[in-house]
Structure 1
Amino acid sequence: MDRLRSALFKLAFFGGSVVIVLLAPLTALFGQRAFRRWVIFWTQYHSWCSRHIAGIRLRIEGTPRTEPALYVSKHQSFFETFELVRLLDAPAVVMRQEYARIPVWGWAARRYGIIIIDRSGSASTLRQMMREAKAAGAEGRSVILFPEGTRSAMGEAPPVLAGLTGLYRAVGLPVVPVALDSARVWPKHGPMRPGVVTLRFGETIPAGLKREEIESQVHREINALNPARGA
């Protein structure tokens, strides 16, 4: 049943997404605000498919800020990338460069205002990421960063990658850690299964911490719902 449910979800969501993405250039003609509303519609469609086809429900703990912030989140599945965009009202998302190269979708992502990061981690690309994130904050948008850099399974806690501290210092926004356990129902490998995803907005982290402090606190907070294997 889990495999069938996963197949039906993929058919419905990705099939519908093809139409949504292909219509994106048309919505862009009505301006940036209309385009971002179209993106929010896409995330709402994902939420509907997740709940009514895959049987995945969302439980939220804590409250996101009403003002812009830098949200640093655990990354375990496709689920949270859409849910955070929906919940935070079209924030800028720090995204790997290869995603921006996908035809049409890459154009739409850039038009939406994603922030590209090059995994090579060169100084110039990191500076560009910081400039774009700072501009998003000045525009009144929040920024989402997945500081471990990749999806992980339950029990895995990859180290925080380079870029977090520089972004923390440069963007001028308060930091909100986001813990979650989406891998329980949407594992990195294997079919989806019905259940509840908990998404927890942590306490705001103040500015001015040293590199070791901010990295340690972020890593601890985003893994709060991710017990180590064997624990």
Structure 2
Amino acid sequence: MTLIRNIAFMIVFYGLSVPIVLIVPFSALFGRNALIAYSVGWTRFHRWCARYLLGVRSRYKGPRPSGQVFYAAKHQSMFETLDLMVEMGAPAIIMRREFARIPIWGWATQVYGIILVDRAASATALRALMREAKAARESGRSVMIFPEGTRVKPGEQPELKSGFAGLYKMLDLPVVPIATDVGRLWPKKGLKRAGIATFRFGEPIPPGLPRAEIEARVHEAINVLEPRS
């Protein structure tokens, strides 16, 4: 049954995503807001496919944030990058620059307002990251980062990337940590399994804290759903 569910998901979601992406340039003709709405529609389609084809449902717990914030989320799969876009009202998301090289999709991410980060982390790349994040803040949008920098397996708790603290200082926004256990259902490799993926909002952390403190508090908060040894 699990194999059949996975095949159905691949056929429906990826099969229909191709024409959806190809239509992106037409939606962009009506401006960023139209493209954002179109993108959210695509992520809702992803949520529908995950729920009804794979049997993967999302459950959100903890105090729901309000206003403009800086989200820092655990990253275990592709699922949360799309589901959080729906749930959090299309924040500006910080993603690796490699995604911008995908034809059409890469161009659309920039129109949407995705903030691209270079893995090389050169001084020029970091300045560009800060500049784009500042523009997102000034536009009134919340910003989302996956501060571990890459997808990790359930149970892995790497240190946060150094760029997180710089963004925290520059944005001067409350940080809302988001923990998840979706990786146990949605592995990087292998079959996806039915079940409930939990997301837990941590208490907002105020701006202005020392680097060591904000990193420690966020690291602890995004890992609260991790299995204990």
Q: Same fold (TM over 0.5)?
A: yes
TM-score between both structures, scaled by the size of structure 2: 0.97
Gaps of 5+ in 1: none
Shift of 1:227: 2.0
**Count, aligned residues:** 229
3-state SS of the aligned residue for 1:160?
A: coil
**Counterpart mapping for 1:78-97 below 5 A:** 78-97=78-97
State whether structure 2 residue 211 is matched by structure 1 residue 211: yes
Query: Could you say which residue in structure 2 is the equivalent of 1:147?
Result: 147
**Counterpart mapping for 1:74-113 below 5 A:** 74-113=74-113
Question: Which amino acid in 2 is paired with 1:190?
Answer: G
Identity, in percent, stands at 51
Do the aligned residues in 1 keep the contact of 2:172 with 2:208 (CA within 8 Å)?
Answer: no
CA distance in 2 between counterparts of 1:172 and 1:99 reads 27
Gaps of 5+ in 2: none
3-state SS of the aligned residue for 2:85?
A: helix
CA distance in 2 between counterparts of 1:155 and 1:183 reads 9
TM-score between both structures, scaled by the size of structure 1: 0.96
Shift of 1:151: 0.8
Query: Could you say which residue in structure 1 is the equivalent of 2:193?
Result: 193
Shift of 1:172: 2.1
Shift of 1:13: 0.8
Query: Could you say which residue in structure 1 is the equivalent of 2:39?
Result: 39
Query: Could you say which residue in structure 2 is the equivalent of 1:221?
Result: 221
Do the aligned residues in 2 keep the contact of 1:64 with 1:88 (CA within 8 Å)?
Answer: no
Structure 1 outlier segments of 4+, above 6 Å: none
RMSD across aligned C-alpha pairs, in angstroms? 1.1
3-state SS of the aligned residue for 1:53?
A: helix
Shift of 1:6: 1.4
Do the aligned residues in 1 keep the contact of 2:173 with 2:206 (CA within 8 Å)?
Answer: no
Shift of 1:188: 2.1
Shift of 1:124: 1.9
Query: Could you say which residue in structure 1 is the equivalent of 2:8?
Result: 8
Shift of 1:15: 1.1
Do the aligned residues in 2 keep the contact of 1:77 with 1:182 (CA within 8 Å)?
Answer: yes
3-state SS of the aligned residue for 2:168?
A: helix
Query: Could you say which residue in structure 2 is the equivalent of 1:114?
Result: 114
Shift of 1:108: 0.8
Query: Could you say which residue in structure 1 is the equivalent of 2:138?
Result: 138
Shift of 1:64: 3.3
Question: Which amino acid in 2 is paired with 1:188?
Answer: K
Shift of 1:4: 2.2
Do the aligned residues in 1 keep the contact of 2:97 with 2:117 (CA within 8 Å)?
Answer: yes
